[in-house]
Amino acid sequence: MKIAVVGKGGSGKTTTSGVVARTLARSGRSTLALDCDSNPNLGISLGIGEEATERLVAVRDAVDAGEEEHASSADDLVERFGVTAPDGVRLAVVTAIQNPQPGCPCCGISPERLLGELARPDRVVVADFEAGLGTVMRLDGNPVDVVMVVVEPTPKSLEVGRRAAESVRESGLGRVVVVANRVRDDEDAARVRAAFPGLEPVLVPDDPAIMDAERQDVAPLDAAPDAPGVRALVDLADSLLKAG
Ligand SMILES: Nc1ncnc2c1ncn2[C@@H]1O[C@H](COP(=O)(O)OP(=O)(O)OP(=O)(O)O)[C@@H](O)[C@H]1O
Ligand SMILES: [Mg+2]
C-alpha cells in the first residue's frame, strides 16, 4: 500500500504521518516511512528523537556535499540512509538534494517516484511530502492507493487542500482521504465539509497533548496515546487497514 500525505505548510502532515505509520506497523504490516521534506522532521513525530533525526539529515547532506557515497539502489538508500523507529517502522530521509546526479537511484529521482519504487505487496509506504501543491503535480504518473489531504479549518489551508484533492481526482492518482486537523468545534467541521462535498473528512481535534509531546521530544503516540487528537489519527490508520 502506498500512502501520500500532502497539504499546506504546517497543516499537520508530519504528525499525521508519524502516528499513522506507527499504527500500521503495530498491526503487523511492514512499514516504511519516507521523509520527503527539505526540512526533515518525521523522525521526531515517529519518536526517534531530535538528535537521531538530525543524524539522518546529516547523512543526506553529506551525500549532497560529495562526502558520502551515493546509494546503489532505492533499497540500498533505505538501508544506508534509514533507521528503525519504534514499532519497527523503517524511516528513510529522501529529500531532494541540491546537487542530484541525474538517474541516480538515491538522488536523481523524485521522492514521488521513489514512493512507487519502494512499495511492495507486503509493505506499506507512508510518504510525508513537502508542503504545497508541487508534490501532487509530481505524483502525476505515479499513482498511489491513498492521498491523505491534511487541512486546517482555515481558508488558506482549505484552498490548498481543495486544489490538491481536485488534482488527485482529475488525474486518478488515488483515493482521497481528507484529514481535518485541529478542529475546535462544529463550525470548524462544517467549514471543512463544505470545502470537500461528497468526501466525509476524518476529524482530528485541536489537542494540546500533540504540541506538548513535541516540546518534550517524544512521539505523540508515546506521550499521550489516549489524547483525543492521537486517538483520531490511530482510528484513521485502522480505517485504512480495514479499507485494504
Ligand atoms: N491536532 C493537533 N492539535 C494540536 N497541535 C497540532 C495538531 N496537529 C499538529 N499540531 C502541531 O502543529 C504543528 C505543525 O504540525 P506538523 O509539523 O505535523 O505539520 P506539517 O504539515 O508537517 O508542517 P510542515 O509543512 O512544516 O512540514 C506542530 O507543532 C504540531 O505539534
Ligand atoms: Mg512536516
Task: Summarize pLDDT for 141-171 with one digit per residue, the tens.
Answer: 899 999 999 999 999 999 999 999 999 999 9
CATH number of the domain to which 140 belongs:
3.40.50.300
Given a cut of 80, whether residue 64 has pLDDT beyond it is yes
Given a cut of 90, whether residue 96 has pLDDT beyond it is no
What is the whole-number distance in angstroms between the Cα of residue 208 and the centre of ligand 1? 11
The domain of 10 spans 2-243
| Ligand 1 proximity of 10 Cβ (cutoff 6 Å) | yes
Report the pLDDT value the prediction gives residue 211, as an integer from 0 to 100.
98
d(CA 32, CA 78): 9
Helices (H), 119-227: 134-138, 155-170, 186-195, 208-215, 220-223
Residues whose CB is under 5 A from ligand 2 (ion)? 13-14
**Which ligand has an atom closest to residue 209 CA?**
1
Q: DSSP secondary-structure letter at 6?
A: E
Among the listed residues 15, 74, 1, the one whose alpha carbon sits nearest the alpha carbon of residue 44: 15
d(CA 240, CA 93): 24
| Ligand 1 proximity of 210 Cβ (cutoff 6 Å) | yes
| Ligand 1 proximity of 131 Cβ (cutoff 6 Å) | yes
Q: Total structural domains in the chain?
A: 1
Report the pLDDT value the prediction gives residue 220, as an integer from 0 to 100.
98
- Minimum-distance ligand 1 atom for the alpha carbon of 229: 1
**Which ligand has an atom closest to residue 18 CA?**
1
Given a cut of 80, whether residue 244 has pLDDT beyond it is no
What is the whole-number distance in angstroms between the Cα of residue 42 and the centre of ligand 2? 7
What is the whole-number distance in angstroms between the Cα of residue 152 and the centre of ligand 1? 10
- Minimum-distance ligand 1 atom for the alpha carbon of 232: 1
Report the pLDDT value the prediction gives residue 176, as an integer from 0 to 100.
98
| Ligand 1 proximity of 214 Cβ (cutoff 6 Å) | yes
| Ligand 1 proximity of 181 Cβ (cutoff 6 Å) | yes
Tell me the backbone φ, ψ of residue 98, rounded to 5 degrees.
-65, -40
| Cα-based angle 106, 107, 108 (whole degrees, multiple of 5) | 110
| Ligand 1 proximity of 17 Cβ (cutoff 6 Å) | no
Please compute the mean of the pLDDT values over residues 188-213 and round it to a whole number: 98
d(CA 117, CA 113): 6
Report the pLDDT value the prediction gives residue 240, as an integer from 0 to 100.
96
Please compute the mean of the pLDDT values over residues 200-208 and round it to a whole number: 98
Report the pLDDT value the prediction gives residue 158, as an integer from 0 to 100.
98
Report CA dihedral (137, 165, 28, 18) to the nearest 10 degrees: 80
